[in-house]
């Protein structure tokens, strides 16, 4: 069942580790097969060394397990809410990567400070509001997803493929699991450079024209980057 | 004598090195066999490359050497005081890991700034008071232990499994030596992110509700994380 | 055609990756054969693992492709403007290396804060002005080159072999592609140390005499460094 | 001639590279044979990969080359002044390691902020005054040595085995070349932690009693650290 998606989802999970975004098991990647509406996600708390495609958990968009003996990632409901609210998204990752998490903990969005940012994120990387005590004590993981999708009202999720959850850490997404992992890696680099930049100049920022130019150099019908 | 505990204690010592928490010999891990009341600890100043289980030193809770030809870690008396005061603790580690040590040197506790912290530490990671000159000139290593246990009055040591010794460096502990090492590794990551967070926002912090939610997601009877 | 220059240009591109200056494909190096006026440059968006000398693109100083099936680096026109304006330059590299990029994003030049800087850069590493919206919406990559060469009026490009493009990232250059890559690596180290230095002392700086002494120790007719 | 000292001096040079203190050829280590008064030092600007014991340059304390076809390190005269002024010193190293260099560039001494520092440096790591233009334009490398030994009037060089040269970088020394390299490595770690500490708490510092306790735990007749 969904063998190829399982392999790609596993590969995205392992890529996060190889690139230093994940300590122990503090991360997870998932992918969705839009045709069947089924989501493939990493099991919870399993060592990456031991992960095989057949360990991936398959569930539907309501969270009903359809295949797999292991419990899914404890962040499953956040992933599902993102898939439900963002139909263009094919993969989601969550990490506690150090620099992006520092921004999330500070409760500050990452402003667009340069073209590395603009190549991937067409505007600031938003930070959610803090959850209320009721939301935390209720269906917390799902409410985390709601806080994200609420924050993205009016924002195209593929134009800004990441978010900071206040007091928590980032989520990133993309067309498929590897694209989501790629965006998470770039987010971490962008967050690191932004940290240094705001210490050097607290009012730094780029113009909308530069933001547009770089974003559309890599995205959309008129993209000129790479070999397409 | 205590062969398995020696191997686990050695493994915890080596894990600290592999994960970059220890420069040269600036660290040590120990374990206790609660049944016999015997403690296994790394010898002092021996290269990690050459360490074998049989080099581990065995002593009782009063510090009497029961086995081993080498001198125990110079921090032994601090370890012993922690084992005496914290009956739930089965392993103790001490490192000079860079970020946690910077916080210890600053004399500041690490506030709970996010869920990575909350997953492991149910409240700030406390910092001891400074030792008096009398304490330093007296039984210094033991007095370091007393300063820690004094600071933990009213705190469950397994709910906050680490401390910063002011002007010195961290100690971490856990159910066994590897768990203590694991907590030391997470402490270092948390300290690094906290450093960046307070530079980005000096008033950052999470709600008690979020702290509780994440802590009890991984700990206690209602834990939902992993495959248990 | 230009086989040796292709190999050296490839080697310079790979060196940037090996030394941690390039994430994914965020960098490019080129070289020029001054006799024929032909430029060799990395193709756009190709994985470094797969790069071979025969993938390098050859073009003239007006940007006409003379050999190669792949599209050249999207930054080609900036490289060409540097070659046209700086006749002494034989290689150009562009990276988004973290520390130099943070300075570029902050819009601040890197002041000469020590002898590591002075050994390579005979004065501050300049930062360009921001481009106007018209320049961004026009021939953006070429205009980036113009902003650099405008900023270098009165500066010998081989005496200050790097620049920060405001809101973007650094360019570095040298006598040949490997020399340019070498300067980019040193720039990154200098930028990292300068970041820490200005946080420790916002008014730090070295005297002109020290700047001269170190620069001319490694450069010019009276150089005494190395085995020449 | 001095084969063993050449091997140890080479090993110290290579250790600096392995531990990440040296970029390209920005570092050098030397050793002295006190009986003959001969100094062994790395040649200038030679790749570390190609360095062999027979490449080491031998000279006397006045700088007369006694063996070797290569030019000695351009910092030779600073090394020689340290050997002349500090008779207890058997090895000297110079690096541009990032954190210690940032402190040197800031012109600030590294205060004793914790026990890692106190284990190796019995007081702040001093920073020299800036050289005058006359000193820079005169016998610059020798004058750098004079600025160091002037700064160490009243300080036991083995009790504080390192210095920051203002606007330049650190020198460290020890009983032999490997001991000097070891002190340079610890200096870099101490400098990194001190940078973070002063950002967290600009008035941090340890008591003289703690400084004494830790220093004399590792040094002198009553040392208790390790297996001696």
Q: Write the DSSP string, C83-141.
A: HHH-TT--EEEEE--HHHHHHHHHT--B---SHHHHTT-SS-B-BPPPPPHHHHHSSHH
For position C11, what pLDDT does the model report?
A: 98
Alpha-carbon dihedral C137, C139, C141, C146, rounded to 10 degrees: -110
Number of CB pairs, chain A paired with chain C, less than 8 A apart: 87
Supply C92's token pair: 């150009």
Q: Which residues from D are below 8 Å from B198, CB to CB?
A: 200
Alpha-carbon dihedral C192, B117, B100, D207, rounded to 10 degrees: 120
Query: CA-to-CA distance for B126 and B109, rounded, in angstroms?
Result: 5
Is A195 in the B-facing interface, judged by CB distances under 8 Å? yes
Q: How far is B89 from chain D (nearest CA, A)?
A: 26
Q: How far is B153 from chain D (nearest CA, A)?
A: 24
Contacts of A99 (CB under 8 A, 6+ apart): A188, A191, A192, A195, B196
Query: Which of these is catalytic: A119, A133, A139, A179?
Result: A119
For position B227, what pLDDT does the model report?
A: 74
Is C226 in the D-facing interface, judged by CB distances under 8 Å? yes
Closest Cα in chain D to B45: D226
CB contact under 8 A, D192 and B98: yes
Query: CA-to-CA distance for D185 and D16, rounded, in angstroms?
Result: 8
Q: Which residues from A are below 8 Å from B114, CB to CB?
A: 101, 104-105, 167-169
- What are the Cα distances from residue A18, in Å, to A50, A185, B15, B193? 15, 11, 18, 20
Fold of D3-218: L-fuculose-1-phosphate Aldolase (3.40.225)
Mean pLDDT for A122-143 is: 97
Residues B4-16: pLDDT tens digits? 999 999 999 999 9
Q: Which long-range contacts (CB under 8 A, 24 or more apart) does D31-39 make?
A: D31/D5, D31/D90, D31/D91, D31/D176, D31/D177, D32/D5, D32/D83, D32/D89, D32/D90, D32/D91, D33/D2, D33/D5, D34/D87, D34/D90, D36/D2, D37/D61, D38/D1, D38/D2, D38/D66, D39/D79, D39/D80, D39/D83
Is C193 in the D-facing interface, judged by CB distances under 8 Å? yes
Mean pLDDT for B167-171 is: 98
In this prediction, residue D124 has a pLDDT band, given cuts at 50, 70 and 90, of very high
Q: How far is B85 from chain A (nearest CA, A)?
A: 30
Mean pLDDT for D176-203 is: 98
Counting as contact any 3 or more CB pairs under 8 A, the partners of C are A, D
Is B24 in the D-facing interface, judged by CB distances under 8 Å? yes
Q: What average pLDDT is seen over chain B?
A: 96
For position C220, what pLDDT does the model report?
A: 83
Contacts of A17 (CB under 8 A, 6+ apart): A27, A48
Mean pLDDT for C142-152 is: 98
CB contact under 8 A, D116 and B169: yes
Q: Which residues from D are below 8 Å from C201, CB to CB?
A: 105-108
Angle, alpha carbons D22-D28-D32 (nearest 5°) = 145
In this structure, of A145-154, B44-53, C16-25, the range with the lowest mean pLDDT score is: B44-53
Residues B122-148: pLDDT tens digits? 999 999 999 999 999 999 999 999 999
Contacts of A31 (CB under 8 A, 6+ apart): A5, A8, A9, A12, A39, A40, A90, A91, A92, A176, A177
Is B36 in the D-facing interface, judged by CB distances under 8 Å? no
CB-nearest partner of D197 from B45, B102, B168: B102
Residues B87-109: pLDDT tens digits? 999 999 999 999 999 999 999 99
Burial letters C80-115, b for 16+ CB under 10 A, else e: bbbbebbeebbbbbbbbbbbbbbbbbbbbbbbbbbb
Counting as contact any 3 or more CB pairs under 8 A, the partners of B are A, D
Query: CA-to-CA distance for A41 and A23, rounded, in angstroms?
Result: 18
Whether the per-residue pLDDT at A113 is higher than 90: the answer is yes
CB-nearest partner of C116 from D46, D74, D169: D169
Residues C11-37: pLDDT tens digits? 999 999 999 999 999 999 999 999 999
Residues D30-66: pLDDT tens digits? 999 999 999 999 999 888 999 999 999 999 999 999 9
CB contact under 8 A, B23 and D185: yes
Is B43 in the D-facing interface, judged by CB distances under 8 Å? yes
Is A55 in the B-facing interface, judged by CB distances under 8 Å? no
Is C204 in the D-facing interface, judged by CB distances under 8 Å? yes
Q: What average pLDDT is seen over chain D?
A: 96
In this prediction, residue D153 has a pLDDT band, given cuts at 50, 70 and 90, of very high
Nearest to A97 by CA among A206, A7, A152, A171: A171
Burial of residue C177 (CB within 10 Å: 0-12, 13-18, 19+) is: buried
Q: Which residues from B are below 8 Å from A195, CB to CB?
A: 196, 199-200
Residue with more model confidence, C227 or B203: B203
Whether the per-residue pLDDT at A161 is higher than 60: the answer is yes
Q: Which residues from A are below 8 Å from C98, CB to CB?
A: 189, 192-193, 196
Whether the per-residue pLDDT at D214 is higher than 70: the answer is yes
Q: What average pLDDT is seen over chain C?
A: 96
The share of chain B scoring above pLDDT 70, in percent, equals: 100
For position A227, what pLDDT does the model report?
A: 74
CB contact under 8 A, D167 and C213: no
CB-nearest partner of A108 from B115, B200, B226: B200
**Is the separation of the CB atoms in B131 and B147 below 8 Å?**
yes
Is A116 in the C-facing interface, judged by CB distances under 8 Å? yes
Residues A22-41: pLDDT tens digits? 999 999 999 999 999 999 99
What letter would DSSP give residue A226? T
Whether the per-residue pLDDT at D228 is higher than 70: the answer is no
Whether the per-residue pLDDT at A228 is higher than 60: the answer is no
Whether the per-residue pLDDT at C228 is higher than 60: the answer is no
Whether the per-residue pLDDT at A104 is higher than 70: the answer is yes
Transcribe C18-71 into DSSP letters: HTT--STT-EEEEEEETTTTEEEEPBTT--GGG--GGG-EEEETT--EEE-SSP
Whether the per-residue pLDDT at D79 is higher than 70: the answer is yes
In this prediction, residue C133 has a pLDDT band, given cuts at 50, 70 and 90, of very high
Whether the per-residue pLDDT at D168 is higher than 80: the answer is yes
- What are the Cα distances from residue D157, in Å, to C147, D88, D111, D143, D149? 51, 8, 17, 18, 9
Nearest to A103 by CA among A131, A129, A127, A132: A127
* Domain definitions of chain C by residue range: 3-218
Residues C176-214: pLDDT tens digits? 999 999 999 999 999 999 999 999 999 999 999 999 999
Is B50 in the A-facing interface, judged by CB distances under 8 Å? no
Known active-site residue A119: yes
Whether the per-residue pLDDT at C225 is higher than 60: the answer is yes
Known active-site residue B225: yes
Cross-sheet strand order for the sheet of D38-41: D65-67, D57-60, D38-41, D27-33, D91-95, D170-174, D162-164
Query: Which of these is catalytic: C24, C156, C212, C225?
Result: C225
What letter would DSSP give residue A110? B
Q: How far is A120 from chain C (nearest CA, A)?
A: 12
Whether the per-residue pLDDT at B228 is higher than 70: the answer is no
Is C108 in the A-facing interface, judged by CB distances under 8 Å? yes
């Amino acid at each position: 069942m969904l063998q190829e998606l399982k392999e790609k989802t596993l590969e995205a999970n392992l890529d996060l580790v190889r690139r230093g975004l994940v300590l122990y098991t503090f991360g997870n990647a998932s992918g969705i097969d839009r045709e069947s509406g089924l989501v493939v996600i990493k099991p919870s708390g399993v060592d990456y060394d031991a992960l095989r495609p057949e360990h991936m958990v398959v569930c539907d968009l309501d969270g009903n397990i359809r295949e797999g003996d292991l419990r899914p990632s404890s962040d499953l409901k956040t992933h599902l809410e993102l898939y439900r609210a963002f139909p263009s998204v094919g993969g989601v990752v969550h990490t506690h990567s150090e620099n992006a998490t520092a921004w999330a903990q500070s409760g500050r969005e990452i402003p667009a400070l340069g073209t590395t940012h603009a190549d991937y994120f067409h505007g600031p990387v938003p930070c959610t509001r803090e959850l209320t005590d009721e939301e935390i004590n209720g269906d917390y993981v799902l409410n985390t997803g709601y806080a994200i999708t609420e924050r993205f009202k009016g924002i195209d999720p593929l134009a800004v493929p990441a978010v900071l959850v206040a007091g928590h850490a980032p989520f990133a997404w993309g067309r498929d699991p590897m694209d989501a992992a790629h965006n998470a890696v770039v987010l971490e680099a962008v967050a690191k450079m932004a940290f240094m930049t705001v210490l050097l100049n607290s009012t730094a920022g780029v113009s909308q024209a530069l933001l547009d130019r770089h974003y559309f150099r890599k995205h959309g019908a008129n993209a000129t980057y790479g070999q397409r």
